[in-house]
Chain A
């Protein structure tokens, strides 16, 4: 079951994973930050892919 706390999103270009529980503290994104609360102009830190090209990972 997917819960708000366990959601992970995957970049469809480079396969990097944005884990809401971990956030990206090195980029100023606090643990627990929900994907939809990331800025619209946020991009994948590894490859620059747009936020819209991330997909929710099941499980």
Chain B
């Protein structure tokens, strides 16, 4: 069977981080792919061929079958041939710099996930409600104390979920800014404003050089934390990870450090991106703020729609463990599949009017937080944080409008607003 090929000039921008700074172009690209090449192969020079999976149903079919579509044997995110070889060089043979839950297959994945899973269950998170609500109030009060303008991305959205997850992990407040910086180096390695100082963003190997530096920085930081929590256990996530057992044994070192990395980065960055995106929408749609103020019970739907709207994780890559027929195409064992979450969450066959922000959308079947066994471990925490922030802010927000141009980060992996300048009026508490 002949494999359908996407013209290289059409798909190549999806392999370039800079494209993702221009949301209109990204959505137009994937709209065309869904229409003309819903499941087809990209052959971009410097990269192995990838099936580009654009349809919501296909992403769900793949991600529900972890034994057929693997995470661990090839790079988990889009990587050039040079980059993947470098990862093997740096890591001693693995196609990953990090060995997080995201990079594992079963049964290892479930065993590692179990170490912290109970802490992120809805019934466990209830005990954090007071802490989360207090943080939300404090940040909203800080916003109220400003002069009616701020950059909502950097002033509020970046720092609120950062503070909560790092408190839960057990990272002291004086280290939060450093954690944010490392997160931005990791996820925005090619963004001119957020990348590691000195990074050569034109170098195809830069992503791996940066990731290796980030890994070593986290290792240096968390090695002391691990030592401390083994000696003096506390009621925090760091203690669970440092003392966690997998099948009766201590975690392998790279996996343990990576556990801390994913908690300290993905544990806030996607929530921040979603929160900043939601404010961007509010600032451009005054009637939406009026609707939310009139009907506060729309706030959970507003959160859910903002998750779909933002879809911070742009893509993950899986490799086929065996031959498989998907959407009428024969996927061969070893083939790479690029799962476009940003495309799936604008799929016209699933979402009515997908380019319109609708908090009333119900059910909202987005898969921005994943689907299947690798669904986001922190999803219930993220929803709680966002719901409480908006519950505190919406009643006090008299008006909001953009005070300049919003800007997206340039990243083909995790992408969100890096600047959302707003002008607003707020009432006193």
Answer whether residue B122 sits at the interface, using C-beta atoms and an 8 A cutoff.
yes
Answer whether residue B380 sits at the interface, using C-beta atoms and an 8 A cutoff.
yes
Contact for B363 among A14, A45, A47, A48, CB less than 8 A: A45
Would you call B363 and A46 a contact (CB within 8 A)?
no
Would you call A26 and B375 a contact (CB within 8 A)?
no
Would you call A48 and B123 a contact (CB within 8 A)?
no
Would you call A10 and B372 a contact (CB within 8 A)?
no
Q: Could you say which interface size class chain A belongs to?
A: 10 to 19
Would you call B373 and A47 a contact (CB within 8 A)?
yes
Q: Which residues of B contact A10 (CB under 8 A)?
A: 121
Answer whether residue A17 sits at the interface, using C-beta atoms and an 8 A cutoff.
yes
Answer whether residue A52 sits at the interface, using C-beta atoms and an 8 A cutoff.
no
Give the size of the chain B interface in residues (CB under 8 angstroms): 19
- Closest chain-A Cβ to B57's Cβ sits at a distance in Å of 11
Would you call B122 and A15 a contact (CB within 8 A)?
yes
Answer whether residue B21 sits at the interface, using C-beta atoms and an 8 A cutoff.
no
Contact for A48 among B64, B117, B369, B379, CB less than 8 A: B64
Answer whether residue B362 sits at the interface, using C-beta atoms and an 8 A cutoff.
yes
- Closest chain-A Cβ to B211's Cβ sits at a distance in Å of 28
Assuming the contacts A13-B375, A14-B375, asked whether A26 and B121 have C-beta atoms less than 8 A apart, the reply is no
Q: Which residues of B contact A24 (CB under 8 A)?
A: 363
- Closest chain-B Cβ to A25's Cβ sits at a distance in Å of 8
Answer whether residue B370 sits at the interface, using C-beta atoms and an 8 A cutoff.
yes
Would you call A48 and B120 a contact (CB within 8 A)?
no
- Closest chain-A Cβ to B233's Cβ sits at a distance in Å of 24
- A48 vs B64: C-alpha distance when bound (angstroms): 7
For chain A residues 2-59, which have a beta carbon within 8 Å of chain B?
A: 10, 13-17, 24, 26-27, 45-49, 57
Would you call B379 and A46 a contact (CB within 8 A)?
yes
- Closest chain-A Cβ to B191's Cβ sits at a distance in Å of 31
Q: Which residues of B contact A46 (CB under 8 A)?
A: 369, 371, 375, 379
- Closest chain-A Cβ to B308's Cβ sits at a distance in Å of 13
Closest chain B residue to A15 by CB distance? B121
Contact for A17 among B63, B64, B122, B370, CB less than 8 A: B122
7 contacts between A and B (CB under 8 A): A13-B375, A14-B375, A14-B379, A15-B121, A24-B363, A48-B371, A49-B373
Other than the given A10-B121, A45-B365, A48-B372, 15 more pairs (CB < 8 A) read: A13-B375, A14-B375, A15-B117, A15-B122, A16-B380, A26-B362, A26-B363, A45-B363, A46-B371, A46-B375, A47-B370, A47-B371, A47-B372, A47-B375, A49-B372
- Residues on B lying within 8 angstroms of A by beta carbon are 60, 63-64, 117, 120-123, 362-363, 365, 369-373, 375, 379-380
